[in-house]
Amino acid sequence: MSAAPGGGGRFVAAWRRLIAVASKEVRQLARDRPTFGMIVGVPLMQITLFGFAINFDVRHLATAVFDEANSSMSREFVSQLEATQVLQVVSRPASSSEVDALLREGRVSVGVVIPADFERRLAGNTRSVAQILVDGSQPTLTGVAAALAEMPPLSRHGMGPFSGDQRLVPRRIEIRTLYNPEKRTAVQIVPALIGVILTMTMVVFTASAIVRERERGNLELLIATPLGRLELMVGKLLPYVVIGLIQVTLILIAGRLLFGVPVVGSIFDLYGAALMFIAATLGLGLFVSTLAQTQFQAFQFAFLTMLPSILLSGFMFPFEGMPKAAQWIAQVLPLTHFNVIIRGVMLRGAALPEVWPQLAKLAVFLTIMLTIAVLRFKKRLD
């Protein structure tokens, strides 16, 4: 037979088989119209859905203002609050207890109480200058207080944040609008979507690509040939690395054209980070493929990993606000770390060395997944 005996020849032979597997996969993918459509369709659909339909921005909240000071400065403060478009003053009650009542009844979502000594407090440094009451029963509103704390008069005067009513707003909320001055959801969503879409497609594609061979009986023939298991696995995955990069490009272009989301950092860093994340996700898909016997099972397993990724990774809800247990689970998910990396690179212009702890975690994840997958994938039927 033509198998070369030497070490180099052996490597070349393995490489040729790997490429043969990869090109077969591409050929089959190109003929599988629905799957091919998913590669392009999923990113475009998701970015449209999340970018346009889901809006985490909070605007025009019904607000009651009790301005006890009623000075030129306090009136300016209220008009500046309104100018942010976050608040819309709908009621001007005559006492702070009326503000409470309006909030309780749900007629307004935000109450603003400006004390009589507003100017004096503003000049001093210790006491909060005004009270903003936010209806904490609505989760998206808790961010409002933080957003309002960014108000120009206060920053200018070097003031601390407003003190929220402890009953309504249980804790102080972090201010995180530094790199998204207009507070547009799209700017946060597009980088995060790269990770979410890759998680959705990569795990499903790779898991089903390998399980399909098993399900249709091709694997029985394949493992009777000299094809090695590593050659088979890498050959199967290679096309999906390229597909992942195509998806990243699609999201970036759509994010730019539809929402004007910039890439502040280096494009090479961005693709480097994406490549690392794609590898980690493919590793997960590979692991799933060793668990599933049928494509249907593979989809279920993939879904099982997808939901926590979307919910816990900081894509939907701020990571810091989650309970400890959820944060621990999130540490295991590659998407959590990728979100940190990609936001850093895309929005803050961070270079890869600056996000190395996250990159290292992805590398560890990839190594563990690959090791388990290769150990579990026996080149035998039993």
Residues that bind other proteins (CB under 8 A): 1-3, 13, 16-17, 20, 24, 27-28, 31-32, 216-218, 220-227, 379-382
- Between 1 and 307, CB nearer to other proteins: 1
Minimum Å distance from CB 283 to other proteins?
25
3-state secondary structure of 61: strand
Whose Cβ is closer to other proteins: residue 289's or residue 313's?
A: 289
C-beta of 226 vs 262, nearer to other proteins:
226
- CB closer to other proteins out of 168 and 223: 223
The least CB distance from residue 334 to other proteins, in Å, is 31
For residues 340 and 360, what is the distance between their CA atoms, to the nearest angstrom?
Answer: 13
Q: How far is the CB of 215 from other proteins (least distance, A)?
A: 11
CA angle centred on 35, ends 29 and 40, rounded to 5°: 105
Nearer to other proteins, 307 or 381 (CB): 381
**Can you tell me the distance from the alpha carbon of 320 to that of 312, in angstroms, rounded to the nearest whole number?**
10
Distance of alpha carbon 110 from alpha carbon 86, whole angstroms: 10
SS3 31: helix
Cα(247)–Cα(199) distance, integer angstroms: 11
Q: Which residue's CB is nearer to other proteins, number 224 or number 304?
A: 224
CA distances from 182 to 51, 95, 178 (A): 15, 33, 10
Distance CA 191, CA 188 (A): 6
Compute the least distance from the CB of residue 382 to other proteins, in Å: 5
Nearer to other proteins, 214 or 343 (CB): 214
User: Cβ of residue 371: shortest distance to other proteins, in angstroms?
Assistant: 22
| Least spacing, CB of residue 211 vs other proteins, in Å | 15
Any idea what the Cα angle at residue 212 is, between residues 209 and 215, rounded to 5°?
160
Nearest alpha-carbon partner for 277 in 348, 200, 185: 200
Contact 373, 288 (CB under 8 A): no
Q: Are 333 and 364 a contacting pair, CB within 8 Å?
A: no
CB crowding 64-84: b at 16 or more within 10 Å, else e: bbbbbbeeeebeebbeebeee
Q: How far is the CB of 5 from other proteins (least distance, A)?
A: 11
> Residue 25 or residue 135: which is nearer to other proteins going by CB?
25
Using the structure block, give the residue that is written with the tokens 């990609």. 342
Nearest approach in angstroms of CB 40 to other proteins is: 20
State the pairing for strand pair 163-164/131-134: parallel
Q: Cβ 301 to other proteins, closest distance in Å?
A: 24
* Residue 257 or 381 having the CB closest to other proteins: 381
Q: Which is nearer to other proteins, 169 or 227 (CB)?
A: 227
What would the two tokens of residue 170 be?
Answer: 């249980």
Show the beta-strand stretches assigned E in the chain: 61-67, 87-91, 110-114, 131-134, 163-164
Task: Tell me the closest approach of the beta carbon of residue 32 to other proteins, in angstroms.
Answer: 7
Give, for 25, the enclosing helix (H) or strand (E).
helix 7-31
